[in-house]
Amino acid sequence: MAVSGFEGFEKRLELHFSGDDRKNVGSSFGLGLRLLDFETLQHVLHAVQCTVVSAVANHYFDAYVLSESSLFVYPTKIIIKTCGTTQLLKSVPPLLRHASLDLGLTLVFCRYTRGNFIFPNAQPFPYTNFQNEVVYLEESLPDSLCYRKANVMPSKTPSHAWHVFSASTENTTCPFGEDDSDGGLFTLEICMTELDRDLARNFFLRPGTEYDGDSAGKEMTALTGISGINPRALICDFAFDPCGYSMNGIYGNRHSTIHVTPEDGYSYASFECVGSVYDDRDDVVRVLKKVVQIFRPATMSVSTTCASHEVWMRVAGALEPLGLKCRSCSVDEFPASGNVVYQTFVDRRSKKNNNNTPVQNCHKVVDANAHIGLEKN
């Protein structure tokens, strides 16, 4: 492992709002948060220490590729995902201020998640310690979000753990979501380390060739097979110099995103997507198979956020036939998030992972409440 390098593991923030103006958020044509102008978004991202490099939109939401990951803006929901040493939580105060003063919107839900940093000592305060992050968030949120919970979901893989903070105005486990009144939507957040070296080279610019980020990104998307993960999605992609790649996919009201740090010694890739429990059962299997084929990681973690227990079982069923054995599986329940199931997998072919450590039954979860946590209501 390198002593120092670029931090691939992202911090992810999701904020949901509500409002009384039906012209803004209460109808199918309501724009809500999408009315925030680009200058305002730039101001928010400046505090986070990143910028917009590319963008795309449809009828439902706007998607921005950032210099460090992604931003998604829905009428009543914002998702910001940033890597490196960015100051993600500094986006909360200006976002709440602009949503309230400019649009009359009120925050009703917040969720913050991240994995284990590869270079934790390089992170600025408060990201050096999850407890500090929780305190920072709690001080930034209004008192109306009184149902709060934080937990670190561990695994038997030392490099992976899942940090979750959730806060809501309502004492419910039903997830907030865009057009998700039936509670059927789920979110997969996948973190992969130790990528196959040959496959990781696909995310380096070829020496001596002049590219701009957009055209190089499109070439990487086609070359690696990323375009085949969801062929129906509109893709906005970008390649960085000398290496690295980001992509946002939009399909209807669902987003997907990929970010790649391909350097040997600290290679990392993430994949996030939204699906529904009412989709074809084979969709999750097909998507996960393609993701594994593109990166072939030695270690992989999957966080599934959903009101249903059905999806995470599909995850295990999809990955185990691909040569990935389950090392650990835990579950916890968070306010207005439903269940979070955290599973870790290792490549059976890897000599590093070929030991006598017992394999966790990924069809049986372990309650994560027994581990480090903070709860307030």
What are the structural domain ranges in the chain?
11-350
Q: Which of 63-67, 171-175, 247-251 has the lowest mean pLDDT?
A: 171-175
For residue 263, say whether it is annotated as part of any ligand binding site.
yes
pLDDT of 55 higher than 80: yes
**For residue 359, what pLDDT is reported?**
46
Active site residue 69: yes
Catalytic residue among 67, 246, 267, 330: 246
Is the confidence at residue 232, as pLDDT, over 60? yes
| Residue-level pLDDT at 366 | 52
Answer yes or no: is 68 a known binding residue: yes
Among the listed residues 259, 267, 326, 337, the single catalytic one is 259
Q: Does position 39 have pLDDT exceeding 60, yes or no?
A: yes
Mean pLDDT of 188-216: 93
- Please tell me which residue, 278 or 137, carries the higher pLDDT value: 137
Place 351 in a pLDDT band, splitting at 50, 70 and 90.
Answer: low
DSSP 6-64: ---PPEEEEEEEE-S-IIIIISTT--GGGGS-HHHHHHHHHHHT--EEEEEE-SS-EEE
Is 144 in the active site?
no
The predicted-structure confidence for 64-98, as pLDDT tens digits, reads as follows 999 999 999 999 999 999 999 999 999 999 999 99
What amino acid is encoded at 290 in this protein? K
Q: Distance between CA 5 and CA 118 in Å, rounded?
A: 9
For the segment 332-351, the average pLDDT, to the nearest whole number, is: 88
Is 374:147 a contact under the CB 8 Å cutoff? no
State the average pLDDT over residues 343-352.
81
Q: Which of 16, 50, 69, 91 is catalytic?
A: 69
Q: Is 7 annotated as a binding residue?
A: no
Res 306: pLDDT: 87
Q: Among 158-167, 207-216, 256-265, name the one with the lowest average pLDDT.
A: 207-216
140 is catalytic: no
CATH of 11-350, one of 3.90.1150.10, 3.40.50.1820, 3.60.90.10, 3.40.50.300: 3.60.90.10
Active-site residue (options: 50, 83, 326, 329): 83
Better-scored residue on pLDDT, 184 or 143 = 143
Active site residue 246: yes
Contact yes or no for 363/313 (Cβ under 8 A): yes
H/E stretch holding 286:
helix 282-295
Mean pLDDT to the nearest integer, 358-366:
52
CA distance linking residue 177 with residue 211, whole number of Å: 39
